[in-house]
Amino acid sequence: MRILICEDSVLLREGLVRLLEDAGHEVVAALPDTDGLMDAVVDTDPELCILDVRLPPTFTDEGIRAALAIRAGHPSLPLLVLSQYVEERYASDLIAAQSGSTQGGALGYLLKDRVADVAEFIESVQRIASGATVLDPEVVAQLLTRRNRDERMLRLTDRERTVLALIAEGKSNGAIAGLLFLSEASIEKHITAIFQKLGLEPEDGNRRVLAALAHIENTGVADAGNDYQGGVR
């Protein structure tokens, strides 16, 4: 996979290059700031773009604005945004842009601490490149605490809320089945019920993303960890 990196920290930037190349990917550009970023996207034609939220010169929102610009100009290009801390407003901006996109560009928003778990990070990179939306659980949790309850969410059973929370974390059907000790067929039935109760029709496009966004935008949804860690079925 061809990957473009935009990260100001030399150590993290070079570390990402090494990790990704060791995993068999090609880093086509590794930039310290957004100068020339859009030209680099055109020139190198990456299959995934990884950006830091805070970049020079002000270290405020340059990275997120660059991500939004890439989403506008190259809507199908998968993006992975890395952040030192949960930047709730920036995460919301990205999610809003994601929900408004009709071309399905994949999105990831992860805390930099996740890079330390190399296997999990590489797996997340691959899932995003394959079209998945991968949101850091801490980002999901903070967004959940600051959104109003949606009447549609009240239609879901506890099990369906658990499945939806895991979808929002970017888990595949197989991974969800393993965590909940259920068959993939059962998970597919739960997901179908979730789509129906949220009023998501096949013509709505990527219903997994839309369902995950509905989950993130509402409070009062069961925490997935409370359900599966104790082996409850």
Q: How many CA atoms lie within 13 A of 195 on its CB side?
A: 17
CA dist 210 and 218 (Å) reads: 13
Residues in CB range of 158: below 8 A, 6 or more apart = 222, 227
Pair (101, 187) in one structural domain: no
- The answer to whether residue 85 is domain-embedded is yes
Considering the domain architecture, whether residues 192 and 87 belong to the same structural domain is answered as no
Place of tokens 């890439």: 70
- Interval 50-88: pLDDT, tens: 999 989 998 888 998 899 899 889 989 999 999 887 776
**Residue-number span of the structural domain to which 185 is assigned:** 147-228
Given this model, what pLDDT does residue 216 score? 67
How many structural domains comprise the chain? 2
Rounded CA-CA distance 112/86 in Å is 10
pLDDT, position 193:
92
231 has a pLDDT exceeding 50: no
Q: Is residue 233, in this structure, part of any structural domain at all?
A: no
Given 92, 109, 136, the domain boundary residue is: 136
pLDDT at 22: 96
Residue 104 has φ and ψ, to the nearest 5°, of: 75, 25
**Closest to 133 (Cα-Cα) out of 104, 112, 108:** 108
What is the pLDDT of the chain when averaged over all its residues?
81
Whether residue 40 has pLDDT greater than 80: yes
CATH at residue 86: 3.40.50.2300
Choose between 223 and 153: higher pLDDT. Answer: 153
- pLDDT at res. 223: 40
pLDDT at 207: 76
Looking at per-residue confidence, does 124 or 146 come out higher?
A: 124
Do residues 54 and 34 share a domain? yes
Please indicate, yes or no, whether residues 153 and 132 belong to a single structural domain of this protein.
no
Q: Could you tell me if residue 142 is inside a domain?
A: no
- State the pTM of this model: 0.64
CB distance 88 to 142 below 8 Å:
yes
> Average pLDDT of 222-231?
34
Q: Where does 169-204 have alpha helices with state H? A: 173-180, 184-197
Q: Tell me how far apart the alpha carbons of residues 211 and 208 are, in angstroms, rounded to a whole number.
A: 5
- What Cα–Cα distance (Å) separates residue 73 from each residue in 28, 67, 77, 116? 19, 10, 9, 31
Together in a domain, 72 and 165: no
Bond from prior residue into 57 cis (ω within 30 degrees of 0) = yes
Q: Which of 77, 105, 136 is the last residue of a domain?
A: 136
Looking at residue 209, its pLDDT comes to: 73
Average pLDDT, integer, range 111-139: 88
Shared domain check, 151 and 132 = no
Residue 105: inside a domain, yes or no?
yes
Q: Which residues pair with residue 31 across a beta bridge?
A: 6
- Reported as a single tens digit per residue, the pLDDT across 88-106 is 667 777 776 665 554 557 8
Same domain, 200 and 107: no
Q: Would you say residue 141 lies in a domain?
A: no
The CATH number of the domain where 154 resides is what? Answer: 1.10.10.10
Higher pLDDT pick, 102 / 17: 17
End-to-end CA distance of the chain: 38
Confidence of residue 203 (pLDDT cuts 50, 70, 90): low
Q: What is the pLDDT of residues 161-201, one digit of tens each?
A: 889 888 887 788 999 999 999 999 999 999 999 988 888 77
In whole angstroms, what is the distance from residue 228 CA to residue 233 CA?
8
Given a cut of 70, is residue 205 above it in pLDDT?
no
**pLDDT confidence of residue 224:** 38
The pLDDT tens digits for 21-35 are 999 999 999 999 999
Q: Give the pLDDT of residue 9.
A: 93
Q: State which amino acid sits at residue 137.
A: P
